[in-house]
A and B are shown apart, each in its own frame.
Chain A
Amino acid sequence: MASKLFRPKKIRVLPGFKLTLGFTLFYLGLIVLIPLAAVFWKTSTLTWPEFWHTITMPTALASYRLTFGASFCAALVNVVFGLIVAWVLVRYEFFGKKIVDALVDLPFALPTAVAGITLAALYSQHGWIGQLLTPLGIKVANTQTGIFIALTFIGLPFIVRTVQPILEDLDPELEEAASSLGANRWQVFWRVILPMLTPALLTGFALAFARALGEYGSVIFIAGNIPMKTQITPVIIMAELDMFDYAKATAIAVVMLVASFALLLTINVLQWWTNRHNTTNLA
Chain B
Amino acid sequence: MKKIFLSAAIVGASLFSFAQDITVDEILDNYFENTGGRKAWSKLEGHKMSAELDQQGMIIPIEVYEMKDDRAITKITFQGMELAQGAFDGEVLWSTNFMNMRPEKAAAEATENKKRNLGSYPNPFLNYKDLGYEVELMGTEDIDGVECYKVKITMNPTMVDGEETENTEFYYFDAENFVPIRVEAEITSGQMMGQMAITELSDYQEVDGLYFPFSVTMRSEEGPGQTIEFDSIELNPEVSDDLFKFPGGEESEETEEAEEKQE
Does A pair with B? Answer: no
Which chain B residues have a beta carbon within 8 Å of chain A's beta carbons? none
